[in-house]
């Protein structure tokens, strides 16, 4: 009887330790996201004008940078919500997960720089391609993070639905594909390639519809 109680106590302590470890990693990740999304605004400089009549034209000239800020703010926000979703299902963590998460955050932290570069030189193939490569790296590492955590229920709850696992994988993979398409178009028309980011919205809606239909069939 005592051995059973000791075993239950050890399992409880282990579960609590795993929960604290996951909370620490998630909290650290949230802090990195907060810094990255705040640094985006530093890509915008207040125009210095001597004549107030020049201000409208100076603000108009800032539009490419402001556009880059808006796009990256929304996309980083989407990555944050996706990362939060992943960690909501985690029950355990391993060294491999920590390293994949670190690489994911490294690419997130690079986004303010690649955003500033792309906004400043939005007609440059090099600048736009670098931004798209940064986005591909973020989305691909997030996809790898979820695959590593959910493969054979390695680090997630055993009750996790296979349909949900596939749905999240497809969502993260969809991001990589859209940015890869944008990268290809950047070599033809750098300034127009960013319009492909809009594909993220209908693709997400389609994937959500497919997921709901799959869940209805399963039930």
Q: pLDDT tens for the chain, 219 residues: list them.
A: 555 554 455 455 555 557 778 889 899 999 999 999 988 887 777 777 777 777 777 778 778 788 888 888 888 898 999 999 999 999 888 888 999 999 999 999 998 889 888 888 878 999 999 999 999 999 999 999 999 999 877 888 888 888 889 999 999 999 999 999 999 999 999 888 888 988 988 998 999 999 888 888 877
Q: Which pTM was predicted?
A: 0.83
Q: Which residues contact 172 (CB under 8 A, 6 or more apart)?
A: 82, 139, 142, 143, 146
- DSSP letters, 77-126, are HHHHHHHHHHHHSB----HHHHHHHHHHHHHHHHHHHHHHHHHHTTT-HH
């Amino acid at each position: 009887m005592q051995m059973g109680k000791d075993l239950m106590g050890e399992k409880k302590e282990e579960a609590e330790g795993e929960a604290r470890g996951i909370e620490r990693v998630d909290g650290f990740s949230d802090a990195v996201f907060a810094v990255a999304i705040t640094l985006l605004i530093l890509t915008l400089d207040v125009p210095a004008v001597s004549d107030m009549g020049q201000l409208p034209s100076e603000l108009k000239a800032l539009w490419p940078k402001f556009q880059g800020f808006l796009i990256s703010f929304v996309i980083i926000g989407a990555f944050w919500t996706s990362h939060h979703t992943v960690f909501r299902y985690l029950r355990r963590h391993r060294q491999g997960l920590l390293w994949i998460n670190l690489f994911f955050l490294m690419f997130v932290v690079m986004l303010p720089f690649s955003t500033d570069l792309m906004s400043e030189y939005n007609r440059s193939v090099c600048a736009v391609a670098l931004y798209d490569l940064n986005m591909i790296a973020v989305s691909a590492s997030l996809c790898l993070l979820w695959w590593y955590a959910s493969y054979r229920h390695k680090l997630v709850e055993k009750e996790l639905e296979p349909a949900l696992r596939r749905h999240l994988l497809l969502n993260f993979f969809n991001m990589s594909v859209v940015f890869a398409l944008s990268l290809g178009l950047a070599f033809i028309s750098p300034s127009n390639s960013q319009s492909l980011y809009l594909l993220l919205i209908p693709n997400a809606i389609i994937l959500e519809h497919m997921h709901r239909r799959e869940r209805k069939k399963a039930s």
